[in-house]
């Protein structure tokens, strides 16, 4: 078992969870507007939805890996290109983190949990991202690929849960800091670009 690969996976996941995106911005706004426990309910819903995407990728990609070396290489290549595409989109986007334009309605804890699950499960981009992200981080020659994908999924969920929960708990401080430091958005923007490009290179160079 290659623990260095797992550590790299955790670092990459944490960097992506920290960088501003629709999910963590939504968690931040729920916490600011309605309180920490509402932000945490959203976090639990979002993370729970990842189970579905992990299962789809685990069983689908594992079968392909076993069946055809060429198809596996094509998946890695497409995954790397997709991550480079995400990096390009981040590069073209505005570096300003907008915390005021989105209206956040008051909802109950159970409603927020369900909404978090639905937001995640019905977003095909999550499965596409997992498809691009996970194959390059297979870490064992003895464990089955299905098991490895589920381990990566659980690590992804656990790491994201910790980061998102910190965002929910520290929402007020984070919001004030972002508003008072104009350069934060630029730093986080380039963090995303570096992470996406780095993972794309890592996945393309990784071996089965």
Question: pLDDT for 27-76, tens place per residue?
Answer: 988 888 888 999 999 999 999 999 999 998 888 777 776 667 787 788 78
The 3-state DSSP class for residue 152 equals: helix
Q: Is the pLDDT of residue 103 over 60?
A: no
Question: pLDDT for 170-207, tens place per residue?
Answer: 988 888 887 787 777 788 788 888 888 988 888 888 76
What is residue 208's predicted lDDT score, i.e. its pLDDT?
57
61 in Cβ contact with 135 (< 8 Å): yes
What angle is formed at CA 145 by the lines to CA 139 and CA 192, rounded to 5 degrees? 55
What is residue 170's predicted lDDT score, i.e. its pLDDT?
93
The model's pTM: 0.83
Q: What's the alpha-carbon Rg for the chain, to the nearest Å?
A: 18
Question: pLDDT for 129-141, tens place per residue?
Answer: 888 888 888 888 8
């Amino acid at each position: 078992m290659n623990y260095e690969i797992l550590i790299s996976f955790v670092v990459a996941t944490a960097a992506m969870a920290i960088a501003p995106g629709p999910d963590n911005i939504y968690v931040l706004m729920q916490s600011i507007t309605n309180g920490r426990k509402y932000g945490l309910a959203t976090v639990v819903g979002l993370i729970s939805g990842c189970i579905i995407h992990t299962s789809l990728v685990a069983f689908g990609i594992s079968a392909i890996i076993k069946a055809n070396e060429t198809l596996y290489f094509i998946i890695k290549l497409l995954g790397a290109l997709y991550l480079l595409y995400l990096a390009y989109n981040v590069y073209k986007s505005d570096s300003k983190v907008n915390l005021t334009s989105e209206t956040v309605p008051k909802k109950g804890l159970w409603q927020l949990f369900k909404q978090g699950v639905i937001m995640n499960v019905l977003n095909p981009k999550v499965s596409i991202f997992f498809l691009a992200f996970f194959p390059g981080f297979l870490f064992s020659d003895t464990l089955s690929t299905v098991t490895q994908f589920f381990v990566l999924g659980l690590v992804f969920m656990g790491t994201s849960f910790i980061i998102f929960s910190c965002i929910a708990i520290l929402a007020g401080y984070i919001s004030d800091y972002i508003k008072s430091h104009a350069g934060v958005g630029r730093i986080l923007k380039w963090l995303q670009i570096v992470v996406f490009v780095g993972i794309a290179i890592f996945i393309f160079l990784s071996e089965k």
